[in-house]
Structure 1
Amino acid sequence: MPDQALELSFEPASDAAVVAQWEALKAAGVPSQADHRSMTNAPHLTLVAAVGIGADVLPVAREAIAPLLPARLGVRGLVLFGQGARVTIAHLIEPEPALAAATARIRELVPSVRHPVWTPHVTLARRVPRRLLPAALDVLDSTEAPADLVCDRLHWWDPAQNLIETIAIG
């Protein structure tokens, strides 16, 4: 069963800044999120992903996150995930302390989180062959990286039902 997720999405200027980097990678022949054709593909920050997020978690998430929106997220550089022949490239994100605390509270309510340690990030490219890392880093170095991103909506994503529900708007 695919993961459900609680995600923060971005106001238009922040969204556009991330998409511009996706497109620059794609134009350079590097795999990027721009290659992901799903209608649900958009820049976001995942707060929690799990096989199931109980219905009891959604009201708590709304109550904890909604008052914090819109929230500014500091972009603190690039991070690579993966140990094999392919890696994920992402912006490492530093959320405001109140948002980090609210996220920790929500994550405690979900017993089967996909990643027990939360590493806030915004994905730029997945499945990048290691041989293309120098090209990817050159592209990202030559594009304007945002200093921060502003998130303004909290979504619940249930892929089994093909459902994205906005549960809070800032």
Structure 2
Amino acid sequence: MPDQALELSFDPASASSVEAQWEALKAAGLPSQADHRSMTNAPHVTLVAAVEVAPEVVSAARVAIAPLLPARIEVRGLVLFGQGPRVTIAHLVEPDRMLAAAVERIRAMVPALRHPVWTPHVTVARRVPRRLLPQALEVLHATETPQELGCDRLRWWDPAQDLIEDVATVR
């Protein structure tokens, strides 16, 4: 079963810029997040992922993060995750100090984090065979890379209940 998660979602312009890269990879016949058809698949930054994110953590995230929205996060370059024959390609992103501090406070409330060290990123493609990395990177370098992304929603995902809930939204 996939983890529950707290995520920051993007404003329409920011989401479109990431989705354009997904589509460019797909059009080139390469692995892409555009291939992932789940209703949960939207450009985002995962703040917390764990088997369970308790309701009090969700409430605390609403209190800590909602006042910081909308937030701008800077795109710092591409990063590769993974070992073995396949990797994930993502944009490494940097939130401002206040948002980063709020996320760290929320993460400290979750005892069984999937990834104990937070590396803020936006996934572009998963399970990319290493032999296709040169082509994937060429496609990504040929597309417009956003310099910053606007976060306008905090959402909670509970796959067991097939639930995605906006915890905080900029109106």
Per the TM superposition, whether the score is higher than 0.5 is yes
Q: Does 1:38 align with 2:38?
A: yes
1:113 matched to 2:117? The reply is no
Q: Partner residue of 1:153?
A: 153
Per-residue displacement from partner, 1:74-122 (whole Å, max 9, x unpaired)? 0000000001100000000000110000000000000000000000000
1:125 match: 125
Shift of 1:72: 0.2
Q: Give the AA of the match of 1:16.
A: S
Structure 2 residue identity aligned to 1:44? H
1:12: how far off? 0.3
Write the deviation string for residues 109-154 of structure 1: whole angstroms up to 9, x where unpaired: 0000000000000000000000000000000000000000000000
RMSD: 0.6
Confirm or deny that 1:82 pairs with 2:82: yes
Post-superposition Cα deviations, 1:31-71, rounded to whole Å, max 9, x if no partner, equal 00000011221000000000001111111100000000000
Q: Secondary structure at the match of 2:99?
A: helix
- Partners of 1:18 and 1:73 lie apart in 2 by 13
Query: Corresponding residue for 1:140?
Result: 140
Report sequence identity in percent.
74
Amino acid at match of 2:90: A
In structure 2, the residue corresponding to 1:52 is in which secondary structure? coil
1:10 paired to 2:13:
no
Unpaired stretches in structure 2, ≥5 consecutive residues:
none
The code of the aligned residue for 1:115 comes to H
**What is the aligned length?**
170
**Whole-Å separation in 2 of the counterparts to 1:71 and 1:57:** 20
CA distance in 1: counterparts of 2:161 and 2:169, whole angstroms: 22
**In 2, Cα distance between equivalents of 1:104 and 1:144:** 31
Which residue type is aligned with residue 15 of structure 2? Answer: D
For 2:140 and 2:158, how far apart are their aligned partners in 1?
A: 31
Q: Specify the SS of the correspondent of 1:39.
A: coil
Aligned equivalents of 1:2 and 1:24: distance in 2?
27
Question: Equivalent residue for 2:65?
Answer: 65
Task: Flag structure 1 segments of 5+ consecutive residues without an equivalent.
Answer: none
CA deviation after TM superposition for structure 1 residue 2, in Å: 2.3
Match of 2:47 in 1: 47
